[in-house]
Structure 1
Amino acid sequence: MLSQSVYTLVNQQNGNLAFKLFEFDNNSYFDHMQRNNYFTLILITSGEGVAKVDFCDYAFNENTLFAFYPYQPFMLQSRSGLRGVAIQFHHDFFCIYRHHKEIANNGLLFNNVYEQPFVRVNDGCRATMFNLIDGIANELKSDSFRKDEALVSYLKLLLVMATRMKLDQQSVQEVETANGKQLMLIQNLKNAIEDNFREKHSASEYADLLHLTPTSLARATKSHFNKTLSDLITERIIIEAKRELYLTDKTVKEIAYELGYDDEYYFSRVFKSKTEVSPQLYRDTIGFNRGAS
């Protein structure tokens, strides 16, 4: 474990927080709604509770690793004391969207509307994970040459490990799914959304694509994701909008049109309803070319 509770790295160009690693030993850090403009990893080492994420509740206990993306609303509620380690990093320091091929994490660990926002950490992985965390702490407290590059390397390893665990746990969940027919339906729905979210925005259109009644599709979606089909479609659109706002210099109007919205102001209202910020503020805060090397 860490010998000091907080380590930080500041972006020398703008004075903003670039990277932060800290231990916590009570509920006060995350017991209120968070909407941070950076990525957050939280490893729970002791305690249990309920995580409120977006519009869903998830029970958790020790050896749980949460992964939250910028502006994702979340809070951790617990009647007992929570202990753990948190890592927070800004897009300017490390952009998931730019590095997704290197870490095989294209929408799997972060920003995945289809899966729960955490992974279970087994004992073997926990030991390795804490070795990486100790390495991060040592770099943060040192004045070594190019320590930012060393931190990125440690972070990549940590994200690769978490992504592997997520993939393994998804495979186990699929094997344990009792109703194979429903599993196929859900996979077909995921594929349909991925192929059509830019053009088709209504639940009825996906019911038609899958040759199902809207009621039966809604029931399966609610049962598997604890979300409505409309939520899944809109959240997938928001993920793509964020990528476009971050990675390109397209105008908000252009992005809205490419995502199937003729009215950019209506698109902006939809975006803000899900993220708490406007598309322009999202871009101004963590958008195009911020952190480009």
Structure 2
Amino acid sequence: MLSQSVHTLVNQQNGNLSFKIFEFDNTSYFDHIQRNNYFTLILITSGDGIAKVDFCEYVFGADTLFAFYPYQPFMISTKAPLKGFSIQFHHDFFCIYRHHKEIATNGILFNNIYQQPFIQLQESSRKTLLNIIGEIIEELKVEGIQRDEVIVSYLKIFLVLATRIKLEQQPVQEDDAANGRQVFIVQSLRDAIEENFRIKHSASDYAALLNVTPTTLARITKIHFNKTLSDLINERIIIEAKRELYLTGKTIKEIAYELGYEDEYYFSRFFKGKTDVSPQLYRDTVGFNKGGS
């Protein structure tokens, strides 16, 4: 049995998924690579296993909340039954980019290339989030007035609470650093990528900026992020490209140029290689701007 209960809202204009919440009691839904054109939250209530996300593998157990952004590749492998709930929602139903000032979710819970894509839940926070899921399910069972608005309100609360937990756990992850020098380099690297990812795309550029050898920077990056420096740079470029494709009507050529690519076709191949979809298809399936390239 794939799921015990499934509740779905569909966009009446185009027939696409707007919002979905379901309970699962095995991994058949997540045991192959997912590249969904919507946000995905997975709350594990029972079981453990390995999550393969982007270029990394993470061991997880019960009371774990995963958060994946559109077209982020992931799959979950377990040897025993896995139980929990999943929430999926499209940009058109709730745009975290547009509500970032209200909930501060994007860049913390989602789209955070520097942190693991999940949080650990304490008993109290687990109960609170499950209660919100219960309220959403009850709301979906009836055809009440302004139902979508009520569900969005519950979703906002869910995301705010999850983001708070993530923020509380981030300093703990930083404390695992081997020494103060490494912490300084890691923070400096984050700042350098944020300031320069549009114009500097090579690992050697950042080693030079930080005045460390490429080998040293590669080792520190692997220790702290379990990724290569090139992975971090590329993921930051892709995040920005997605934002531009979703939030603006700029042409693909304009976006490519602003991200440091003079050849829009090379940029399109790079984008598709990282997301499995072309920039135009991403805009057409996720973005509200349907403008051509």
Compute the displacement of 1:289 (Å): 3.4
The answer to whether the 8 A contact 1:43-1:66 is kept is yes
Kindly indicate whether the alpha-carbon contact (under 8 Å) linking 1:249 and 1:288 is maintained by their aligned counterparts in 2: no
% same residue: 71
Q: Identify the range of structure 1 (176-185 vs 86-95) with the bigger mean alpha-carbon deviation.
A: 176-185
The answer for the alignment partner of 1:40 in structure 2 is: 40
Alignment correspondent of 2:49: 49
Query: Larger deviation: 241-250 or 211-220?
Result: 211-220
Look up the SS of the partner of 2:162 in the other structure. Answer: helix
| 1:79-118 pair list within 5 angstroms | 79-118=79-118
Instruction: Tell me the residue number matched to 2:25.
Output: 25
Structure 1 residue 163: deviation in Å? 0.5
Q: Distance in 2 between matches of 1:289 and 1:224?
A: 37
In the alignment, what sits opposite 1:152? 152
Indicate the residue corresponding to 1:9 in structure 2.
Answer: 9
In the alignment, what sits opposite 1:276?
276
**Secondary structure at the counterpart of residue 42 of structure 2:** strand
Q: TM-score normalised to the size of structure 1?
A: 0.96
Q: TM-score, normalised by structure 2?
A: 0.96
Q: What's the counterpart of residue 194 of structure 1? A: 194
| Distance in structure 2 (CA, Å) of the matches to 1:27 and 1:286 | 26
The 5-angstrom pairing of residues 240-251 of structure 1 reads 240-251=240-251
Which segment is superposed worse, 171-180 or 15-24? 171-180
Q: What is the SS of the residue equivalent to 2:241?
A: helix
- Could you tell me which amino acid in structure 1 is paired with residue 62 of structure 2? E
Shift of 1:176: 4.1
What is the aligned partner in structure 1 of residue 72 from structure 2?
Answer: 72
Q: Secondary structure at the match of 2:99?
A: helix
Checking the alignment, whether the CA contact within 8 Å between 2:256 and 2:267 is kept in structure 1 is yes
The residue identity in structure 2 corresponding to 1:177 is A
Question: 2:283, 2:289 within 8 Å by CA — same for their partners in 1?
Answer: no
Distance across 2 between alignment mates of 1:289 and 1:245: 8
The equivalent of 1:230 in structure 2 is 230
Give the partner amino acid of 2:131: N
Measured after TM superposition, the shift of residue 111 of structure 1 is 1.4
- Whether contact under 8 Å (1:113, 1:235) holds in the other structure is yes
Counterparts of 1:81 and 1:108, CA distance in 2 = 30
1:245–1:288 contact (8 Å) kept in structure 2: no
Tell me the CA shift for residue 173 of structure 1.
2.0
How many angstroms apart in 1 are the aligned matches of 2:25 and 2:273? Answer: 33
d(CA) in 2 for partners of 1:77 and 1:153?
Answer: 32
- CA–CA distance in structure 2, aligned partners of residues 178 and 265 of structure 1: 42
Post-superposition Cα deviations, 1:196-247, rounded to whole Å, max 9, x if no partner, equal 1011111111111101111111111111111111111111000000000000
Structure 2 distance, partners of 1:178, 1:73, is 30
Query: Aligned equivalents of 1:270 and 1:158: distance in 2?
Result: 34
Whether the 8 Å contact between 2:177 and 2:224 is mirrored in structure 1 is no
The whole-number CA distance in structure 2 between the counterparts of 1:45 and 1:150 is: 25
Unaligned runs of 5+ in 2: none
1: CA distance between counterparts of 2:106 and 2:130? 24
Q: Decide whether the 8 Å contact of 2:8 with 2:17 is kept in 1.
A: yes
Q: Indicate if the aligned counterparts of 2:92 and 2:288 stay in contact, CA closer than 8 A.
A: no
Letter in 1 for 2:252: V
CA distance in 1, matches of 2:142, 2:186: 48
Aligned-partner SS, 1:227 = coil
- Alpha-carbon RMSD: 1.1
How far apart, CA to CA, are the structure 1 residues paired with 2:178 and 2:256? 40
Structure 1 counterpart of 2:143, which letter?
D
CA distance in 1, matches of 2:71, 2:172: 30
2:97 counterpart SS class: helix
State the Cα distance separating 1:106 from its structure 2 match: 2.9
Shift of 1:141: 1.0
Q: Distance in 1 between matches of 2:262 and 2:99?
A: 32
What corresponds to 1:135 in structure 2?
Answer: 135
Q: Is the 8 A contact 1:23 1:84 kept in 2?
A: yes
